[in-house]
Amino acid sequence: MSKQAAQVLELLEFFARHKRPATLAQVAEHFGWPRSSAFNLLTMLAARGYLYEPRPKAGYYPSARWSVLAEDIRLAEPTSSELHQMLEECSRVSGETVSLCVASGANVLFADVVESRHAVRYTAKVGKVVPLLAAATGRALLSQRPAEERAAFLRKAVFVQHTANTLMSADAVEKEIRRSVKRGWFVGHSEFSQGLVGLSIALPMPGRHYAVLIAGPADRMEGRYEELALTARVAIEDCLDLKLPAPEQEAALA
């Protein structure tokens, strides 16, 4: 990412946290940027209509142009109200935080989230990213790729040890993917964040691969995997009016 692009994102996050105008001096001091760099960035964004001064000399603040752009992007995104309703239903029946996830390079990106109502819960926000190789959701997304493409990705992958449970080789990841496809759901035990468990279901959609993640504290999740997977599959199929691929174990019995 270029330095100026990173600065624009940092500036937006700054305004989102502080929720008030900021002067050139305040921005430069907060970020430790040279005054000239801060001046160039602020004046460029103001000239393009992305910042304005609510009162003369009182500081800059993001304009509504960001909201208009964000809404235009939201209306065109591949997620839908039906997908969000499905997440709400999965969260209702499971009692846990449920996310709709997509692959973004070497990461899992949270495209939509419905958080649990429990005081102690897995907390995630739209736009959160976690490593593809350190999550059940990552394996659910990788499972939807052709075998050769997945193998090529895993051969080039860099494995990072996040916890004692992180899978640390291409063979281990592929073995777990195959095991999970057979039973119809994917599970991760504290592989990225200690004490958290995630159960994921692959959700292949036309033109896009998704995964649904149900995540929560280990003491509430463990021992409920089959129940959670079954109720989530029912909610997904009912809300989206589709039929998920049958687990290979079920298909063998049919």
Q: Which CATH homologous superfamily contains domain 78-253?
A: GAF domain (3.30.450.40)
> Is residue 234 a contact partner of residue 244, using CB atoms and an 8 Å limit?
no
52 has which bridge partners? 61
Q: For residues 235 and 82, give the distance between their C-alpha atoms in angstroms, rounded to a whole number.
A: 11
**Domain 3-71, second-level architecture:** Orthogonal Bundle (1.10)
Q: Residue 25: CA atoms inside 13 Å, Cβ hemisphere, count?
A: 2
Coil, helix or strand for 19?
A: coil
> Is residue 221 a contact partner of residue 213, using CB atoms and an 8 Å limit?
no
Q: What is the mean pLDDT of residues 60-83?
A: 75
What interhelical angle do 35-47 and 24-31 show, nearest 10? Answer: 130
Q: Do domains 3-71 and 78-253 have the same CATH topology?
A: no
> Is residue 133 a contact partner of residue 156, using CB atoms and an 8 Å limit?
no
CA neighbor of 199 nearest in space, from 171, 172, 178, 218: 218
- pLDDT tens digits along 153-164: 999 999 999 999
Integer CA distances (angstroms), 121 to 159, 232, 236, in order: 27, 18, 22
CA neighbor of 138 nearest in space, from 77, 86, 186: 186
Confidence of residue 95 (pLDDT cuts 50, 70, 90): very high
pTM: 0.71
Task: Please determine, for residue 174, whether its predicted confidence score (pLDDT) is greater than 70.
Answer: yes
Q: Residue 9: CA atoms inside 13 Å, Cβ hemisphere, count?
A: 7
Q: What is the mean pLDDT of residues 172-193?
A: 93
Residue spans of the domains in the chain: they are 3-71, 78-253
Task: Please determine, for residue 75, whether its predicted confidence score (pLDDT) is greater than 60.
Answer: no
Using only the alpha carbons of the chain, give its radius of gyration. 22
- pLDDT tens digits along 186-213: 999 988 888 899 999 999 887 788 999 9
Q: For residues 233 and 60, give the distance between their C-alpha atoms in angstroms, rounded to a whole number.
A: 48
> Is residue 63 a contact partner of residue 49, using CB atoms and an 8 Å limit?
yes
